[in-house]
Amino acid sequence: MKLCMIGTGYVGLVSGVCFSDLGNTVYCVDKDINKIESLNNGNIPIYEPGLEEILKKNYKQKRLFFTNDLKKAVLKSEIIFICVGTPTKKNSNSADLKFVFNVVKELKKIIKTYKIIVTKSTVPVTTGDKIENILARLKKNKLVDVVSNPEFLREGEAIRDFIYPDRVVVGTNSKKANKILQSLYLPIIKKKNKYFNTSRRGAELIKYASNAFLATKISYINELANLCEKTGVDIKDISVGIGSDQRIGERFLRAGPAYGGSCFPKDTRALSDTAKKFKSNLSIVDTVIKSNENRKKLLIKKIDKILKGKIKNKVITFLGVTFKPNTDDMREASSIPMIKYLNKKKCTIKYYDPSGEKNEFKRLQNVKYHSTINSACSNSDLIIIHTEWNDFKLINFKKIVKKNSFIIYDMRNIYSPTKMKRLNIKYFGIGR
């Protein structure tokens, strides 16, 4: 099939590359001339394991194209995927849909023969109706079907999530569009019946409901971790003990710092906002948002407590600053408020992240990036393991820290407290 992906951000690029690998011809379009030029030169703007190889392979095979020419790409394609950003609006919780609607207005001028328009961008329930209203004339002439097909790709695991999805959700009541999308997804859904056709509004809401549920699960385990710290129970045991009940499920029960990234914070806010617009109460989601905000403050307080309030002139190391491993994404990473707070308190902060130096910290005077774990930890008073990159799982701290006494605050519970005690290292985890 011939596909057009509008927007070469995370969603558009990963989906476009993976669709081309399934044998489709894919035109990836972006307004950003530099981005398209650099993609055409083989440079990938995001860090996603495995993406580069698949991209280069399909580019060589001439199944994958990068262009600024929206019109040409649309005219050549049968299915148009809208994959532009829907960030939180300034001074509000709503999703900003201006990029989506701008694309739709352009499409209105271009489309002359039947096309399926699919929103992959995360959009609030009823956005598809609004898109259809803009395209009313085309719809009346049966030249478009507007479909919702949300993505469930995790950063760092996106290729695997695309090829082995738990489900593919397609929201449309058009039999024609549904049949075409089913055949597009056939190579990845053939093993099991993982294709779920629902209403367009249903699909739009499923996306938000999934992310908000996962955020709820994380906040729940994080709050339980606080109780564990007070009662001397290990949160990891609670996760295993409740997670093995299949009704609960073991995944997304890892306690840690506040959840971050480009999706959970933004989508929980937008879902809460949508509920308010429809005069419906989603108090659970509102509480999750609050709980996650509180968690940022709570962990900062804990750092204060670990250092007994004496932060000034201390050397503090961050191992990992991204919101999760296998990505270079810093959006809403909980390391940002932590490092900013500690920087104000006049300590020296050294950080190492496998995805490199971060713009977020470049202007902070006492915050320095180190290119190795050893150099970041060498003279540290406190080592904070913020992100669970594999690189941090087997460190011999006694060997690399050149101080007699230092503290480890393991925010991802990678290390065993008993082993740390045996090594005579002062160790704090989360909920243990």
Residues with a known catalytic role: 263
Residue among 107 and 321 whose Cβ is closer to ligand UGA: 321
Supply the DSSP symbol for 88. B
Residue that is written with structure tokens 């925010």 in the block: 411
Indicate the pairing of strand 115-119 with strand 195-198. Answer: unpaired
Residue among 63 and 331 whose Cβ is closer to ligand UGA: 331
Q: Which stretch binds ligand UGA (CB under 6 A): 149-157, 270-278, 311-319, 402-410?
A: 149-157
Cα 279 to Cα 43, 216, 224, 276: the distances in Å are: 46, 21, 31, 5
- Using CB under 6 A as the binding rule, whether residue 155 contacts ligand UGA is answered as yes
Backbone angles phi, psi at 385, to 5 degrees: -90, 105
Among 58, 77, 86, 211, binds ligand UGA (CB under 6 A): 211
Strand stretches in 134-235, DSSP E: 144-148, 168-171, 195-198
Smallest CA-to-CA distance from 373 within 359, 358, 393, 347 is with 393
Among 9, 128, 165, 261, binds ligand UGA (CB under 6 A): 261
Site string for ligand UGA, 113-132 (x = CB under 6 A): ---------x----------
At residue 69's C-alpha, the angle toward residues 203 and 161, to 5°, is 35
Supply the DSSP symbol for 148. E
- Using CB under 6 A as the binding rule, whether residue 208 contacts ligand UGA is answered as no
Give the relative orientation of helices 264-277 and 200-231 as an angle to the nearest 10 degrees.
Answer: 120
CB of 90 to ligand UGA, least distance (A): 21
Among 128, 256, 429, 431, binds ligand UGA (CB under 6 A): 256
**How many residues belong to the site for ligand UGA (CB under 6 A)?**
20
- Using CB under 6 A as the binding rule, whether residue 13 contacts ligand UGA is answered as no
Among 170, 263, 311, 321, binds ligand UGA (CB under 6 A): 263
Residue among 128 and 431 whose Cβ is closer to ligand UGA: 431
134 close to 98: Cβ distance less than 8 angstroms:
no
- Using CB under 6 A as the binding rule, whether residue 341 contacts ligand UGA is answered as no
Which residues are near ligand UGA by CB under 6 A?
A: 122, 151-155, 211, 214, 218, 252-254, 256, 259-261, 263-264, 323-324
